[in-house]
Amino acid sequence: MEAKSERAPIKKNSGTLKVTTPSDREVAMTRVFDAPRRLVFKAWTTPELMKRWFYGPEEWRLAVCELDSRVGGKVRFEWRNPEGKSMGLSGVCREVAAPERLVFTEVWDEDWTGGETLVTLVFTEDAGKTTMTQTVLYSSQSARDGALKTGMEHGAAMSYDRLAELLTSMA
Amino acid sequence: MIETLQALAEPNRFQIVELLRGGPRPVGEMVERLGLRQPQVSKHLRVLSEAGLVDVRVDAQRRIYGLRAAPLRELEQWIGRYRRIWEASFQQLDAVLEELKAKEKKRGSKKRKSAD
């Protein structure tokens, strides 16, 4: 059941990932990090740093990472696995307000999200901790729900809580 | 798996599944509770049944539908994996942030240096 691949040992303090659906076309993830937002923003916008944490599934690793964090700047992420397969996405930065907000478009090479999505990252800081909210806006509800079907991770996590509840009730 | 997702992706079918969480129910009762027409409900039940999400037993004249857990469990495991992808990434990010914090502390005053 658990993925076999072992990640580096992790310090505690990791917040829990919350996944919600604020509207028909959106999926939002919220996570708290024990660091000022200046650093969280830096980790999100510095390609060398991103490569160290922005993993794909299982053995996939971020092989190409371009994020020109200026309005109109290019975004390109490409993950590869040990068998040499790759998957990637491209986009453009729409809004950059360091260290609180970053907005960019995304479209997967194989377009499994039914068109372009808009990703909004908001970082708020409180007592040295940063709450990150990542909202993905799909082109339509069916695109969002379709993302669930094809295995796009943002979409896939969304109904997890409801499903867990469903399973509990059936046990 | 895809079949399970496709079956669940239709709002009325999702409603049916939600309704059946409370236990097996006859078709007539579902028609009433969902405010749909009988042929519609039957059509949805057929899709759910083909996807293995529900099974039926006949009790006198009534067809009683109930949920089957197996495909949902499979789905849960699969979705859980995708959630873990993000969580695994964010845990790595935690580690990177710890490092950045430590570096900053060591440096004391701000001096530009490439990360890593």
In a domain, B65, yes or no: yes
A120 in a structural domain: yes
Q: What is the tens place of the pLDDT at every residue in A77-101? A: 998 888 888 889 999 999 999 999 9
Assigned token pair, A18: 């919350």
Are A17 and B75 inside 8 Å of each other by CB? no
The whole-model pTM stands at 0.63
B79 interaction partners in chain A (CB closer than 8 Å)? 156-157, 159-160, 163
Q: B45 is in which domain, residue-wise?
A: 2-70
Is B105 part of any domain?
Answer: no
Are the C-beta atoms of residues B14 and B6 closer than 8 Å to each other?
Answer: no
Task: Give the CATH number of the domain where residue A153 resides.
Answer: 3.30.530.20
In a domain? residue B47: yes
> Number of folded domains in chain B?
1
Higher pLDDT, B22 or B30: B30
Q: pLDDT at position A157, please?
A: 39
Mutate to test the interface with B, among A29, A30, A38, A39 (most CBs of B within 10 A): A39
In terms of residues, how long is chain A?
171
Q: Report chain B residues whose CB lies below 8 A from the CB of A34.
A: 94, 97-98
pLDDT tens-place string over residues B72-114:
888 777 666 666 778 888 889 999 999 999 998 888 755 555 4
Number of domains in chain A: 1
Instruction: Please report the DSSP string for A55-68 in residue order.
Output: --STT-EEEEEEE-
Does A87 lie at the interface with B, CB-CB under 8 angstroms? no
Report the pLDDT value the prediction gives residue A153, as an integer from 0 to 100: 43
Q: What is the dihedral of CA B21, B27, B33, B38, to 10 degrees?
A: 140
Mean pLDDT computed over every residue of chain A = 78
Q: Residue A128 burial by CB count (10 A; 0-12/13-18/19+): exposed, middle or buried? A: exposed
Chain A residues within an 8 Å CB radius of B15: none
Contact across the interface for B95 and A10, Cβ inside 8 Å: yes
- The size of the A-B interface in CB pairs under 8 A is 121
Dump the DSSP string for B64-104: EEEE-HHHHHHHHHHHHHHHHHHHHHHHHHHHHHHHHHHHH
- Our CA-based measurement puts residue A61 at a distance from the nearest CA of chain B, in whole angstroms, of 10
Residue B2 Cα, gap to closest chain A Cα (Å):
6
Dihedral over alpha carbons A52, A56, A60, A66 (to 10 degrees): -60
Task: For residue B39, give how far its alpha carbon lies from the nearest alpha carbon of chain A (Å).
Answer: 24
Write out the residue range of the structural domain in which residue A43 sits.
18-170
Compute the residue count for chain B.
116
- Assess if residue B64 is contained within a domain: yes
Where residue B7 sits, what CATH number does that domain have? 1.10.10.10
Q: How confident is the model at residue B116 (pLDDT cuts 50, 70, 90)?
A: very low
CB-based contacts of A90, cutoff 8 Å, min separation 6: A74, A75, A76, A106, A107, A109
Q: Which residue of B has its CA nearest to A2?
A: B81
Q: Examine the predicted complex and report whether its ipTM is higher than 0.90.
A: no
pLDDT of residue B83: 67
**Mean pLDDT computed over every residue of chain B:** 85
Which residues of chain B make contact with A29, given a CB cutoff of 8 A?
86
